[in-house]
Chains A and B, each alone.
Chain A
Amino acid sequence: AQTVTQSQPEMSVQEAETVTLSCTYDTSESNYYLFWYKQPPSRQMILVIRQEAYKQQNATENRFSVNFQKAAKSFSLKISDSQLGDTAMYFCAFIKGGSRTYKYIFGTGTRLKVLA
């Protein structure tokens, strides 16, 4: 069975600084996808960034980037130039590839607070 672990329940960062959120996972699959979702106080989950396991290059989306270490089964999220609007819960998630898969496995989340 797959598991996703986020070991940092809460973090804080000063505005404009850089912060890294950790995520580790466990799977025997070779084809899978990893995600970071953001959940602001409005509760609506928003996809931040996605990484395909078959891609060696780390995904980036503007100020958001990941450090994907496949052998170590690690998938950390780096937020550069943190903004107040980045304050939210961040969830790491996994889904295995292949046909007809749809069950996402979520970590327990990291609450990030950006300080002015």
Chain B
Amino acid sequence: GAGVSQSPSNKVTEKGKDVELRCDPISGHTALYWYRQSLGQGLEFLIYFQGNSAPDKSGLPSDRFSAERTGGSVSTLTIQRTQQEDSAVYLCASSFMGLAGGRSYNEQFFGPGTRLTVL
């Protein structure tokens, strides 16, 4: 089966423009995560979707960032009025479930990311 896919692979945009980044999780995975990886930094949690539950948006850095997940599958991360500090690699991951309960764990599988450059 296919892994997590993301599009576009690279995106160059001008400051002030809106961008949409897409993530296709592994089929059957109910949990989906977005991360941001800035140059020289680790992964910064942005948002988490689990099934039909309300998403955890606590990691979104500002109200210019939003994400949705349609039909429990594909997710889109939207950045409005992009700024130069938004330049980063945006990674998406999915897992069968979002739970690390007790002594069980469900592995996250990552996509190849979208490199966003804001000029």
Contacts and interface: CB of A to CB of B under 8 A. Distances in A.
Interface residues of B, number: 28
A30 B99 CA distance: 17
B99 A103 contact: no
A47 B102 CA distance: 20
Interface string A44-73: 111100101010000000000000000000
Contact of A102 (B3, B99, B107): B99
A97 B102 contact: yes
B43 A106 contact: yes
B100 A44 contact: no
Contact of A42 (B33, B101, B112): B112
B113 interface: yes
A96 interface: yes
B79 interface: no
Nearest to B42: A106
Given A45-B91, A97-B102, A103 B45 contact: yes
Interface in B80-119: 89, 91, 93, 98-103, 105, 107-108, 110-113, 115
A43 B3 CA distance: 14
A75 to B, nearest CB: 15
Contact of A100 (B40, B99, B107, B113): B99
B65 interface: no
Contacts of A103: 45, 48
Given A97-B102, A100-B99, A102-B33, A43 B43 contact: no
B41 interface: yes
B99 to A, nearest CB: 6
B50 interface: yes
Contacts of B102: 31, 97-99
A43 B113 contact: yes
Interface of B: 3, 31, 33, 40-43, 45, 48, 50, 56, 89, 91, 93, 98-103, 105, 107-108, 110-113, 115
Question: Top 7 A-B pairs ranked by shortest CB distance?
Answer: A106-B42, A45-B110, A102-B98, A106-B43, A99-B101, A43-B113, A108-B42
